[in-house]
Amino acid sequence: MPSNPIWRAFRAVCHAFYDVRLLAMLVAGEGRGSRKERYSVIRLTGPRRRIVSLPLYRSLALMATTAFISRPVLAQEWSGDNTPDQLFLPEEGTGVQLGSNFRLFPTVQGEADYDSNIYNVDSGKRADAIFILRPEARISSDFARHYLELRGGAEIRRYADNSGENAEAYHIDALSRLELGGHIDVVPEAGYARGFERRGTAGDQFFSDEPIIFRRKYLGLQLSRTVGLLGLSADGRVTTLDYSDATIGGVPIDLSDRDVTVRVGHLRASYRLSEGISAFAEAGLNEVDYRTPVAQQRNSNGYSTLAGLRAEPSPLLSFEVAAGYLHQGFDNPAYKDVSDIDYRLSAKWTPRRTWSVRAEVRRDVDPSPRVDTPAIIRSEFLLGAQHSVGDRLLLESEAATTTETYQGIDRTDRYFRIDASARYRVNRNVGVTARIGYRTQGGDTAGRNYDGVYAGVGVSVVL
C-alpha cells in the first residue's frame, strides 16, 4: 500500500500541511555573543524538530503567508521569558525545611543612604547619612491545593548626625489561599505593624522631637469565582490605626484624635468578550470612624463605581482602563460632601524583551490625620521603565506625581519624584543595589514646599 501513488500523494499533502500548520511565529531574541537580532521558527515534520534561522524579511513574508492559510494553529513563541523582570533572575535561596510541608526563607538587607533634606523643609535643611537594616523571614507551605504564608520583618534606621530621627518599624502578616470546589478561591489575611510617618507627609503638621509612631492592625477576606466567561469577586478589609503621643521640646502632644478605623469593601464582575479582552464593573463602599468625640466630626462614609476594559491583545501589551464616580459624605454638615469623577488606568508595554514601560493613574479619597480637614483627595500618576542586561542586571527608573487636595481648607500639595536604580545579582544568594533620586513638593499659601536629593547602596542576602 505505501507504493500506491494515491497514498504517496496523500502523504505528501499531509507533510506539506504539517510544515505550514505547525510553524511558530517569529522567535524574537538576541543570540549570545552577538547584538544582531535573530528571528527563528520551529519546524516540525513527523517526529523531528529543528530550529531554522531566517532573515527578517523572509520571516515577515512567512508570517504574512501563513496568516491566510486555512486552519493554521499559529502563536507567537518567545525564546525564554517575555519581560525584563522575568529575564532578570534575582538572588534566591533554597530555604530551610520545617517539617514536611513548610519551608523558611530568611533574608537580610543592609543599606547606606545619603539624604540632602531629612526633614523635608524649605529652609534650615539638614543633610545626613542613614544606615538601614531590614531582616525578613517568610514561611510558605507546599500543600497540593491550599496555600499558607507567614511573613515577618523589621526596619531599623540610624542617622549619623541626627539621632532624634532614629526609628524602628516591624510587621507580621498571615495570608492563606483556599481552593474550594467549583472554581471558588477564598483568601483570608491579617496583620499587625508598627510604623512611623515620613517627614513632609500629610500627617507631619509640626516639628515633633521624633518621628510619629503608629500601630496598624488589619483583617481582610477575598472571594472569587469563575463560571465560564464570567468572573465574580468580592473583598473586604477592616484597618485600625492607633497613634502614640508625640513631643515638641519635651512637651507631650495627644494624638488620639488620629486614631481611626477604616472599613472598605468591593464587588467586581468581569465578562470575557474575546481572547485577551474582558469588560468589568466594580462597586465599592467605605466607612471612616474616628474614636474620640472631637475627631468624630470627621467621620464619613462613601461609595465609588467603576466600569472599564482589561485587555492583553498580545504578550507585548496589557492595559486596564476604567472610569466612574465617587462620593464621600461627612457626619458634620459643616463639611461639604465630595462628589467627583473616579478613574483608573494601568498599562504595560514591552517593545522588546529587554525593555518594558508601565503607566498608572488613579484617584482615591483618604482619611485625614489633621483635625482641620475631614479627608484628602489624592490623584496619582506614575510612569516607569525597566531594562534587563542579561539575567544578572536590572535597571529601573520611575517618575511619579501626586496631587493632594485637603477638604474644608484651602490647601493643595503637588508632589513630584524621579529616581533610578540598578540591581545586580552577585551570585545565587547575594545581590547589590544602587539608587539615586530627586523629590520636590509645591503647595499654595497653606501648603508645604521642599525639595531634596537622595542616593544609596545596599546588599541583600537570601538563605
Q: How confident is the model at residue 60 (pLDDT cuts 50, 70, 90)?
A: very low
pLDDT of residue 33: 40
Q: Please indicate whether residue 198 or residue 106 has the higher confidence score (pLDDT).
A: 106
d(CA 147, CA 170): 24
Helix, strand and coil percent figures for the chain, each rounded to 5: 10, 60, 30
Q: Is the pLDDT of residue 54 over 80?
A: no
pLDDT attached to residue 281:
97
pLDDT tens, 299-347?
A: 999 999 999 999 988 888 899 999 999 999 998 888 888 888 999 999 9
pLDDT (mean) for 249-275 = 92
**Angle (CA) 438 439 441, round 5°:** 155
Q: Between 219 and 69, name the one with better pLDDT.
A: 219
In this model, does residue 96 exceed pLDDT 90?
A: no
Q: Is 4 helix (H, G, I), strand (E, B) or coil?
A: coil
Q: Whole-angstrom Cα distance, residue 239 to residue 289?
A: 11
Which has the closest alpha carbon to 325: 306, 349, 310?
306
Residue 39, pLDDT > 50, answer no
pLDDT band at 37 (very low <50, low <70, confident <90, very high): very low
Cell numbers linked to 287: 466607612
State the amino acid at position 249 in one-letter form.
Answer: G
Q: What angle do CA 210, 459, 89 make, to 5 degrees?
A: 130
Q: What is the mean pLDDT of residues 224-234?
A: 92
CB atoms within 10 A of CB 314: 11
Q: What is the pLDDT, as a whole number, of residue 64?
A: 41
| Res. 444: pLDDT tops 80 | no
Name the grid cell of 143.
500543600
**Is the full-model pTM beyond 0.85?**
no
Give residue 81's pLDDT: 57
pLDDT in tens, 212-226: 999 999 999 999 998
| Mean pLDDT of the region 353-358 | 92
As a whole number, mean pLDDT of residues 17-36 equals: 39
Q: Please provide the average confidence, as pLDDT, over all residues in the chain.
A: 82
pLDDT exceeding 70 applies to what percent of the chain? 81
Q: Give the pLDDT score at 282.
A: 96
Cell of 361: 493613574
- Classify 442 as helix, strand or coil: strand
List CB contacts of 299: < 8 A, sequence separation 6 or more. Answer: 288, 289, 290, 330, 331, 332
Three cell numbers at 25? 511565529
User: Does the structure show a pLDDT above 70 at 116?
Assistant: yes
Please report which confidence band the pLDDT of residue 31 belongs to, taking 50, 70 and 90 as the band edges.
very low
pLDDT at 79 over 70: no
- On the CB side of 300, how many CA atoms lie within 13 Å of its CA? 22
Q: How high is the pLDDT of residue 335?
A: 86
Q: What nine digits make up the cell of 205?
A: 503638621
Average pLDDT of the residues in 228-233? 93
Contact assessment for residue 284 and residue 304, using Cβ atoms and an 8 Å cutoff: yes
Asked if the model's pLDDT at residue 279 lies above 90, the reply is yes
- Average pLDDT on 454-458 reads 97
Return the SS3 of 297. Answer: helix
- The x, y and z cell numbers of residue 448, run together, are 508645604
Q: How many of the other CB atoms lie within 10 Å of CB of 83?
A: 19
Higher model confidence: residue 57 or residue 171?
Answer: 171
**Residue 339 vs residues 26, 64, 286, 331, 407: alpha-carbon distances, Å:** 50, 51, 14, 15, 12
**Look-up of cell digits 513631643:** 247
3-class secondary structure, 5: helix
